[in-house]
Amino acid sequence: MNLEIAAGQVRLAAHVSEPPVSEGEPPTVLLCHGYPSGALPAEAAGRSFPDLADRIANEGWRAITFAFRGCGGSTGNFSLSGWLDDLLAMIDQIDTFGPSRGTWLAGYGTGGGLCISAAARRPQVAGVAAMGAPADFSDWANHPRRLLQHAREVGAISDPAYPQNQEHWTRQLRTIRPVDDAALLAPRPFLVLHGSDDDSVPSFDARVLGDAHASAELRIVSGAGHDLRHDPRAVAILLGWLDRQRHGSEPIDASRA
């Protein structure tokens, strides 16, 4: 089911997949895409996520995915705090989709980092899976003009007059820090999944996030790059983690990562 969700003044294009067999109150997972690139412009960001949502729904979940502002069919322009606001708005409206046994977050790249930060701000979130997530956004903060230009080039910012306050737009890149928020997420379940050959976000970030949480399930996929959404091994690890969350099982030994 496709629909629009209000997040302040923007409208977010969303997709909801229900489990094939009704359980009355299924668990809910919110799936978040990453930042667009030259190979995957903003209009195509998250395009494959409804398929992932459908697959997860077949395992007994209500799976919801959406396009952050400036991406896909959503309105607005990219800013890091705006994306965080989008995710918080989705969490706050989760009850409108029906009764649920709890809310989990799963995100890729920038979306994964924001899942950590959103969960730190919303104690009702039961757990987080972060795939290829950065520990912070310092690389962006050190080169804000380059990021702003790139956001325009990929279509995540379409308004030529945006942002009106570039200093505020840049400050968000330093104040939103998943590594600090990972400690606030604890002791809730936390899957940190990363590719060993990620050339966008080094795997060291995954270890930093895991250490900050102190009891994270850290999995490094050998030979995998940044695009874990399309790596079948990474998808299998996510599905396994979600299955354990759904059944309340203990996490596997993270030393096997």
Q: What is the pLDDT of residues 71-92, one digit of tens each?
A: 999 999 999 999 999 999 999 9
Nearest to 190 by CA among 169, 165, 172, 216: 216
With cut-offs at 50, 70 and 90, classify the pLDDT of residue 256: very low
Q: How far apart are alpha carbons 21 and 59 in whole angstroms? A: 10
**What is the average pLDDT across 210-218?**
98
Q: Is the pLDDT of residue 248 over 80?
A: yes
Q: What letter represents residue 229's amino acid?
A: R
Whether the CB-CB separation of 128 and 116 falls below 8 Å is answered with: yes
State percent of the chain over pLDDT 70: 96
Q: How far apart are alpha carbons 112 and 110 in whole angstroms? A: 5
Q: How far apart are alpha carbons 252 and 244 in whole angstroms? A: 9
Helix, strand or coil for residue 28?
Answer: strand
**What is the average pLDDT across 234-257?**
75
Q: Is the pLDDT of residue 253 over 70?
A: no
With cut-offs at 50, 70 and 90, classify the pLDDT of residue 251: very low
Residues 6+ apart with CB under 8 A from 181: 116, 117, 119, 120, 121
pLDDT digits (tens, 9 = 90+) for 127-151: 999 999 999 999 999 999 999 999 9
Q: What is the dihedral of CA 19, 242, 137, 257, to 10 degrees?
A: -150
- 82: tokens are 């705006």
Q: How far apart are alpha carbons 173 and 156 in whole angstroms? A: 16
Q: Is the pLDDT of residue 249 over 90?
A: no
Helix, strand or coil for residue 17?
Answer: strand
Q: How far apart are alpha carbons 113 and 194 in whole angstroms? A: 12
Q: Is the pLDDT of residue 252 over 70?
A: no
Query: pLDDT at position 2, please?
Result: 87
Query: pLDDT at position 40, please?
Result: 83
Query: pLDDT at position 200, please?
Result: 95
Between 256 and 123, where is the model more confident?
Answer: 123
Mean pLDDT for the chain? 94
Whether the CB-CB separation of 196 and 203 falls below 8 Å is answered with: yes
The predicted model scores a pTM of: 0.94
Q: Is the pLDDT of residue 22 over 90?
A: no
* Domains of the chain listed by start with CATH number: 2-256 (3.40.50.1820)
Whether the CB-CB separation of 12 and 69 falls below 8 Å is answered with: yes
State percent of the chain over pLDDT 90: 91
